[in-house]
């Protein structure tokens, strides 16, 4: 893959998958602009410090981004141990708002990659309500919808990853046909990142132990990054509207 001359914006570049994706893309020649609430720990070509949970701070961050963006990678996220409202804002509403704002700067042939999760696999069970949330036209309308349809704390992470998958799949073809911009999801299983412990707490030891035999080990962040890079590249120019598992085969064990 060759990213020379490409400008790529990555959220969540201060650790984990975001940092490894930024490192890889820079090695492949990309100009990488990071966005995170925490300062980066790696070399970047530009950095915007921003809280991605608020519409106003997202709008302010977008004003600092380049006029041309060849790809947007939405890696930033919070675990289900965070308050429901924060999970909703960062993992879905803020991510969607950033995509909507940046879309006009992405040229034909560009790409958006959203990080979902293997925990979003049960989206077909709640398809109608996820579609209804995805069809809310604005950030504020999304908040109003969620106020009328509250989400339980114990399942909020799964819920909003499901919603992200449904929105990505239903919105992707509209943008691909109208603007030539592709949008896809990457769905990691467990990954050795700083928030892995939060997921163990969120799911509970019983669920974690039950699933442990289904995989060799958790992924390393640099095993997920190349898949994100592929979906940013011209090599995937005819791939749009998919949710691609990167889980060491974990999803296949539920069949």
**Could you give the residue numbers annotated as active site?**
157
Give the SS3 label for residue 37.
coil
Contact 111, 70 (CB under 8 A): yes
β-pairing verdict for 31-36 and 71-74: unpaired
Contact 240, 184 (CB under 8 A): yes
**What's the CA gap between 102 and 58, in Å, rounded?**
10
Alpha helices per DSSP H over the chain: 16-27, 55-62, 84-88, 94-102, 127-134, 139-148, 156-179, 196-203, 205-212, 221-232
Sort strands 46-49 and 243-246 into parallel, antiparallel or unpaired: unpaired
Beta bridge partners of 191: 219
d(CA 121, CA 138) in angstroms, rounded, equals: 25
Rounded CA-CA distance 70/3 in Å is 10
Residue 183 phi, psi (nearest 5): -140, 130
CA distance 165 to 34: 23
């Amino acid at each position: 893959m060759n990213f020379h001359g490409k400008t790529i914006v990555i959220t969540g570049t201060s650790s984990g998958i975001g940092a490894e994706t930024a490192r890889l893309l820079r090695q492949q020649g990309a100009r990488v602009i990071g966005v995170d609430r925490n300062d980066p720990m790696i070399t970047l070509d530009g950095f915007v410090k921003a809280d991605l949970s608020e519409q106003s701070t997202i709008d302010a961050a977008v004003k600092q981004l380049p006029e041309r963006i060849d790809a947007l990678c939405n890696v930033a996220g919070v675990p289900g141990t965070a308050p429901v409202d924060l999970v909703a804002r960062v993992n879905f509403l803020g991510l969607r708002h950033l995509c909507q704002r940046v879309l006009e700067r992405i040229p034909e042939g560009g790409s958006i990659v959203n990080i979902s999760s293997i925990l979003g696999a049960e989206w077909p069970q709640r398809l109608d309500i996820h579609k209804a949330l995805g069809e809310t036209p604005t950030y504020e309308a999304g908040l109003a919808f969620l106020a009328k349809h509250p989400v339980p704390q114990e399942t909020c992470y799964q819920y909003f990853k499901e919603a992200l998958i449904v929105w990505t799949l239903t919105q992707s073809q509209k943008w691909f046909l109208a603007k030539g911009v592709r949008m896809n999801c990457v769905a990691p299983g467990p990954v050795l990142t700083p928030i892995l412990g939060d997921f163990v707490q969120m799911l509970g030891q019983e669920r974690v132990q039950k699933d442990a035999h289904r995989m060799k080990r958790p992924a390393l962040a640099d095993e997920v990054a190349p898949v994100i890079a592929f979906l940013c590249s011209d090599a995937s120019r005819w791939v749009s509207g998919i949710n691609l598992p990167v889980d060491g085969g974990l999803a296949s064990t539920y069949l």
